[in-house]
Amino acid sequence: IQWYPGHMAKAQKQIKERLKLVDIILEIVDARVPESSINPMIQELGQNKPVLLILNKADMADAQKTQQWIETFKKRGITAIALDAQHKAKLPMIEKVAQEILADKLAKKRAKGIRNPVIRAMCVGVPNVGKSTILNRLMHKNIAVTGNRPGVTKNQQWLKASERFEVLDTPGVLWPKFDDPAVGNKLALTGAISDVVYHADDVVVFALDYFKQFYPNQLRKTYQATDADLEQSSPELIMILTKRLGFKEDYDRFCIKFINDARQGKLGRFTLDPVPAEAKGND
């Protein structure tokens, strides 16, 4: 997806309209970049509707950091859960936590005589975080209800995840934020920004700096990097590993492979957003 100002304004308006129809916003982020893939605009677009933050692709993230991030968000007043959308069994958790967040609202509806109030939700998130996967998995029964409610276009559909939980069939795609070059590198490495807008070598230098510090064993394991290699600067390390893989001096080829390996989980699990100090406890 290319983000032009006009396109962004239109997308924003559409998301805002559709968010009016829901009780809760499911903001999907990538657990490997829980802070960099979040979109602060959502509060404004959703007019302060409750948000459930879903740290998806948790199977690819550093498990300890995911827990620490969930704690961090909790301290910031945001309910977050970890998810691996590939594992269907974990999806009911979304409904359960949504019920908890909306407990007061649901209690009021019950008091008014609505016995089984339905929760309506919409998924939003930057590209490639797993929005469609979650929707597909949620509607495992394939029951869709057409939206014949006020303000809903005729072909707008609600996917019925359960008797009391409906999700709008199309997710809202948010633009990634680029206020910091490191954020751009992180989003490129995890696949949230498309291949045309970043330089592979910048992304890999950034990633190697980070992996040398936090995940050196994963570089040893995946590329047979030695201790001596890991002491080199990242641009030098790119040259060494390019040769080792038999790519001669085709450094671009190595960089592209590295990015693909990271995106596909071949580099092991990692989290690129450092957890703020206060959540780390004693470790």
Using CB under 6 A, list all residues that contact ligand GTP.
56-57, 59-60, 84-86, 125, 127-133, 173
Retrieve residue 12's tokens. 């924003």
C-beta closer to ligand GTP: residue 26 or 183: 26
C-beta closer to ligand GTP: residue 133 or 234: 133
C-beta closer to ligand GTP: residue 18 or 131: 131
CB 245 within 8 A of CB 158: no
Q: Which residue is nearest to ligand GTP (CB)?
A: 130
Comparing C-alpha atoms, which of 35, 34, 15 is closest to residue 25?
15
- Looking only at the bridges linking them, the beta strands covering 119-125 and 144-146 are unpaired
Can you tell me the distance from the alpha carbon of 153 to that of 150, in angstroms, rounded to the nearest whole number? 8
Backbone angles phi, psi at 38, to 5 degrees: -85, 155
C-beta closer to ligand GTP: residue 106 or 184: 184
Q: Which amino acid is at 206?
A: F
C-beta closer to ligand GTP: residue 54 or 241: 54
Retrieve residue 175's tokens. 């633009």
283 Cβ contact partners less than 8 Å away, ≥ 6 residues apart: 64
Q: Which residues pair with 24 in a beta bridge?
A: 121
C-beta closer to ligand GTP: residue 243 or 263: 263
DSSP H or E segment with residue 172: strand 172-173
Q: How far is the CB of 132 from ligand GTP (least distance, A)?
A: 3
CB 19 within 8 A of CB 122: yes
CB 9 within 8 A of CB 34: no
Q: How far is the CB of 28 from ligand GTP (least distance, A)?
A: 6
* Size (the chain), residues: 283
C-beta closer to ligand GTP: residue 102 or 129: 129
Q: How far is the CB of 35 from ligand GTP (least distance, A)?
A: 17
**Percentages helix, strand, coil for the chain, rounded to the nearest 5?**
45, 15, 40
Q: How far is the CB of 191 from ligand GTP (least distance, A)?
A: 7
Q: How far is the CB of 47 from ligand GTP (least distance, A)?
A: 23
Q: How far is the CB of 226 from ligand GTP (least distance, A)?
A: 30
Q: How far is the CB of 138 from ligand GTP (least distance, A)?
A: 12
